């Protein structure tokens, strides 16, 4: 299967690329506390006779990192195309987004590996990677390592350097006009001005205003106040800053909580309420990180070095994506889906609606149209236990049918 996604996969080796990919995914699923713990699990469960030195050596191979990166990139691209053609689109309720590439972006910190280098003050630096989450497909990509091994870095300079090359590689340009959604750390007026003016591989941003930003308001724009998605919009304005071209500020009050927000964007065509909603949907990348930390127990780096950090990030994203795609295949072929999560969310929305209405407020109607994107711990456990128990699919499937419907 690897040959269908990656060119030039290595087969004549103690650890062929296909075996290496399988071991990496198993490591993410394993909940192993260390590399030695994982190798012992593999030896005693799968009879994997693997030398510790060999396994740790490949974690520092740039060629292996590129193989796993390409594998996950190809998987995400193909799955996104297949999902849209099959109308499995998490943003399908908004036709104006159909041909737009939409990504949440954020960094994720882990605990440092043993023997990692320290900074100038002899302190360990929490290693981190920068991730993208496609809001259409719900699939993740590891964009770049940010910091670690004694080196401190901010996310935005890493993002600026890497994203331009990434857009070129993926051929994203005028037809898709990609939008990146990030927290206020991604406010860089000059960079996003250049991206807005770049015709070939330009991109747009949606973020929140920082408190100390003092824009000049040039004009107020009209918007469709009858559209449900625009409920809560207070103002849609064109604003300017020193050193940047015209940008757009959307002022929004949550109809449920009455909390006010100010969003800054270089995207000029979408309804203002949809701009606000897309920013609020960036929480989905936080759910990705929650899955890694609390459900997969991916809390510590496997090894030191930038290549090892990148590899671990690719394997985390790849494992998450495989779990998501398996869940969709279960629904397509067996009619199984996370019913318990859907029911829990529906109950929560009903309760929120009752409380909001009692206070003269309302939960935005668009919230009811958003699909459930979480992976339940029961689902992950069932997959993990089936693999570690070396069970046939016919035996695992009935168990999945139960854990996807009700809480144990």
Place of tokens 């609020």: 280
Q: Which two tokens stand for residue 188?
A: 């860089």
> For residue 337, is it within any domain?
yes
pLDDT reported for residue 177: 86
pLDDT > 80? residue 173: no
Please write the tens of the pLDDT for every residue from 330-356: 999 999 999 999 999 999 999 999 999
Q: Is position 399 within any domain?
A: yes
Q: Say yes or no to pLDDT of 308 above 90.
A: yes
Q: Determine, yes or no, domain membership for 332.
A: yes
Q: Closest Cα to residue 373, out of 338, 408, 329?
A: 338
3-state secondary structure of 124: strand
**Mean pLDDT of the 203-222 span:** 91
The structure's pTM equals 0.94
Evaluate whether residue 89 is within a structural domain. Answer: no
392 part of a folded domain: yes
Query: What are the distances in angstroms from CA 397 to CA 63, 100, 324, 333, 393?
Result: 36, 36, 16, 11, 6
With a pLDDT cut of 70, the percent of the chain lying above it is 94
| Residue 271 is assigned to a structural domain of this protein | no
Comparing CA positions, the residue from 242, 238, 234 lying closest to residue 266 is 238
DSSP secondary structure, 273-311, as one string: HHHHHHHHTTHHHHHHHHIIIIIS---B-SSSSHHHHHH
* Residues ≥6 apart with Cβ < 8 Å to 199: 173, 174
Domain with 342, as residue range(s), is 322-403
pLDDT of 1 > 90? The answer is: no
- Summarised one tens digit per residue, pLDDT across range 379-394 is 999 999 999 999 999 9
Q: Please check whether residue 164 is in contact with residue 173, taking contact to mean a CB–CB distance below 8 angstroms.
A: no
Task: Report yes or no on 398 lying in a domain.
Answer: yes
List helix spans (H) across 241-376: 272-280, 283-290, 306-334, 339-358
- Residue-wise pLDDT tens digits, 90-147: 998 899 998 899 999 999 999 999 888 998 889 999 999 999 999 999 999 999 999 9
* pLDDT confidence of residue 408: 75
- How many separate domains does the chain show? 1
Mean pLDDT of 322-332: 94
Residue 132's nearest CA partner among 168, 93, 102, 99 is 102
- 364 domain residue, yes or no: yes
């Amino acid at each position: 299967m690897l040959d269908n996604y990656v060119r030039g996969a290595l087969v004549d080796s103690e650890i062929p690329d296909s075996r290496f990919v399988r071991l990496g995914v198993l490591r993410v699923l394993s909940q192993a506390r260390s590399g030695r713990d994982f190798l012992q699990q593999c030896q005693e469960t799968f009879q994997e006779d693997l030398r510790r030195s060999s396994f740790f050596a490949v974690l520092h191979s740039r060629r292996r990192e590129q193989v796993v990166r390409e594998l996950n990139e190809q998987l995400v691209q193909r799955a996104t195309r297949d999902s849209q053609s099959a109308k499995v689109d998490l943003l399908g309720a908004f036709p104006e987004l159909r041909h737009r590439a939409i990504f949440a972006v954020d960094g994720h910190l882990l605990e440092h590996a043993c023997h990692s280098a320290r900074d100038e003050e002899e302190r360990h630096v929490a290693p981190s990677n920068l991730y993208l989450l496609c809001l259409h497909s719900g699939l993740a990509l590891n964009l770049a390592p940010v910091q670690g091994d004694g080196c401190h870095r901010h996310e935005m300079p890493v993002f600026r350097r890497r994203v331009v090359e990434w857009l070129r590689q993926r051929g994203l340009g005028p037809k898709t006009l990609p939008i990146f959604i990030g927290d206020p750390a991604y406010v860089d007026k000059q960079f996003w001005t250049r991206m807005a003016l770049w015709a070939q591989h330009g991109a747009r941003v949606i973020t929140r205003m920082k408190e100390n930003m003092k824009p000049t308001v040039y004009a107020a724009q009209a918007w469709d106040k009858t559209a449900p998605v625009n409920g809560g919009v207070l103002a849609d304005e064109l604003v300017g800053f020193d050193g940047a071209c015209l940008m757009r500020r959307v002022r929004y009050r949550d109809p449920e909580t009455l909390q006010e927000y100010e969003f800054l964007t270089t995207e000029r065509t979408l309804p203002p309420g949809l701009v606000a909603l897309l920013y609020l949907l960036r929480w989905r990348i936080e759910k990705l990180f929650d899955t890694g930390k609390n459900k997969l127990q991916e809390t510590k780096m496997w090894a030191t070095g930038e290549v090892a950090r990148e590899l671990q990030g690719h394997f985390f994203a790849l494992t998450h994506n495989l779990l998501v795609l398996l869940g969709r295949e279960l629904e397509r072929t067996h009619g199984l889906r996370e019913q318990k999560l859907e029911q829990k969310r529906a109950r929560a929305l009903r309760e929120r609606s009752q409380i909001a209405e009692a206070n003269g407020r309302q939960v935005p109607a668009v919230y009811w149209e958003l699909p459930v994107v979480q992976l339940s711990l029961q689902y992950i456990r069932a997959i993990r236990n089936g693999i570690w128990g070396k069970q046939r699919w016919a035996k695992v499937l009935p168990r999945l049918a139960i854990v996807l419907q009700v809480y144990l």
